[in-house]
Amino acid sequence: MTLVQLNYIVALDTYKNFEKAAEQCFITQPTLSMQIQKLEEELGILIFDRSRKPVKTTEIGAKIVDQARVILNETDRISEIINIESNEVKGILRLGIIPTIAPYLLPLFLVNFVDKFPNVNLIIDEIQTHEILNKLKSDELDAAILVTPLDKSDIIEDPLFYEPFVAYISEKHRLFEKEKIKSADLMLKDLWLLKEGHCFRDHIIQICDRYSKNEIPPETNISFEAGTIDTLMKLVEHNFGMTLVPYLLALEVRQTKKRKYLRDIEKPTPKREVSLIFKRAFVKRHLINLLKEEIIDSLPEELKNKRRGFVVG
């Protein structure tokens, strides 16, 4: 039994396909198959059911793969210890980030992080929360930036900042003339939302459920759910309804003529908790801490205050 063989069975368990697993391991498919078969013969068990498509991990095989992940993680810990002792910052960091954070947060810290740590290969994957959790579980990601709380016992949540929601209102909307709006002004039927699967959508619904008591008819009879916040903003700019946007996006908009559509929400202002998350067994803590420091240093001063307030989620 070798570490290389353990890496191969983890790859096949992750991708459920010999061709994809071999590609990820930078070997040929016959080599991957032969090495896994050798390990199975040595252990006297079948780790994978090859008759199934996609390839299925057997019940005993799943236990073997789980232990292989532990062993490989502990092996990585040796490299991490050496890097820390030698004051070297290097390695691969695979980072997931959700679409409603990525475009606004990444530009703040990415260039500085890469310049400061040129020996760190930062691989970023912009995907939704459920995909991030699946990839963390299968070790395809090391860490992620998303909105918490998640309430997952095997995940550590390290809050970075609390980001207010800001209203984006069309000129023909009844709330446009107000300098600021209240959370109670928000009505679900009156707001453009992202499609299901986006936590930003869920948070807006929570805000409306908590505060909205009014039954004013919606401003339009159009029903539409978008895949991006940018699409929702375009609708508002063409005199359709309103939506909510994250604070970091609002900061960018305030530098343009489109700032006329922005309205701050009075206290208690609803916020979302943006966190850096990783598995409890994760070994690259040094890299994670450096990433966290760089992110926090890049934030606007007003977001560095960690007072929670009304946090959705």
Q: Is 70 exceeded by the pLDDT of residue 196? A: yes
User: In a 10 Å sphere around its CB, with 0-12 CB exposed, 13-18 middle and 19+ buried, how is residue 298 labelled?
Assistant: middle
| pLDDT-based confidence at residue 307 (cuts at 50, 70, 90) | low
Bigger pLDDT: 282 vs 11: 11
Q: Where are the domains of the chain?
A: 3-83, 89-161+274-312, 162-271
- Fold of domain 3-83: Arc Repressor Mutant, subunit A (1.10.10)
Distance CA(269)–CA(139), nearest Å, equals 37
Strand pairing of 56-57 and 48-49?
A: antiparallel
**What's the predicted TM-score (pTM) here?**
0.78
Which DSSP string corresponds to 240-273? --EEEEEHHHHHHHTTSGGGGGEEEEPSS-EEEE
CATH of 162-271, one of 3.90.1150.10, 3.40.50.980, 3.30.70.2660, 3.40.190.10: 3.40.190.10
Helix (H) or strand (E) holding 310: strand 310-312
**Three-class DSSP category at 126:** strand
- Same topology for domains 3-83 and 162-271, yes or no? no
- Fold of domain 89-161+274-312: D-Maltodextrin-Binding Protein; domain 2 (3.40.190)
- Point out which residues pair with 226 in neighbouring strands: 194
Place of tokens 């820390």: 84
The C-alpha torsion from 133 through 135 and 140 to 141, rounded to 10°, is -30
Helix 3-15 with 29-43: angle, nearest 10 deg: 110
If you ran DSSP here, which 8-state letter would residue 216 be given? Answer: P
- Read off the pLDDT of residues 47-81 as tens digits, 9 standing for 90 and up: 999 888 889 999 999 999 989 988 887 787 777 67
